[in-house]
Amino acid sequence: MQHAPKLLTILLFACASSATASSDTPAKSAPPAGACRPTGAVLFEIDHRVDPGAKLGTSTTKLFANGAWTHDATSDDGKAAAQRTGCMAKADVKQLETSLHGVPWKVTTNRIHCNAMTAQFTVYQVDGKEVFTQRLCSGQNLDDKSRAVLDAAIAQAEAEVAKAP
């Protein structure tokens, strides 16, 4: 029992030293500068657009080939929101790139379609080239394989934006 105060003192000193040492070292190392900046080629882009004169919000989400992404939006009155940015895992980007490049992007137009109109529409681009424009009652459809890949890419991009702070 005589050694208990010395042991307690040693333990307290060790804990205090450990706490001081851990506060001096960063808990997580920052990624190297420029590791995930939105630069270079845009792999996939989703443009929520409106017809000229429509007072509706718009947004553009771009996924760059290096894994960086940006999301820009404007409100109904045309005011820009703060840009949101983030990084997608390299393996996910590679898989998405392979999927997007592996489909025919065949668009067909129905002979008969509705005549409803809306000022909102969405343009999808791969490698800077428009692959499909989705508009209410346009009568245009993607082939099944392309539609499945597009739906998966949209879900992946939207999930990335949603989890950003």
pLDDT of 117 reads: 86
pLDDT of 102 reads: 96
Split at pLDDT 50, 70, 90, the class of 35 is low
Nearest-angstrom CA–CA distance, 39 and 44: 13
Nearest-angstrom CA–CA distance, 28 and 31: 9
Average pLDDT over residues 35-52: 94
Average pLDDT over residues 25-51: 74
pLDDT tens track for 69-92: 999 999 999 999 999 999 999 999
Q: Which residues pair with 49 in a beta bridge?
A: 121
Split at pLDDT 50, 70, 90, the class of 9 is very low
Place of tokens 């791969």: 126
Greater confidence (88 vs 9) lies with: 88
**Three-point CA angle 69, 127, 135, nearest 5°:** 85
Q: How far is CA 130 from CA 59, 98, 110, 127, 164, in A?
A: 16, 17, 20, 8, 26
| CATH code linked to domain 42-163 | 3.30.1560
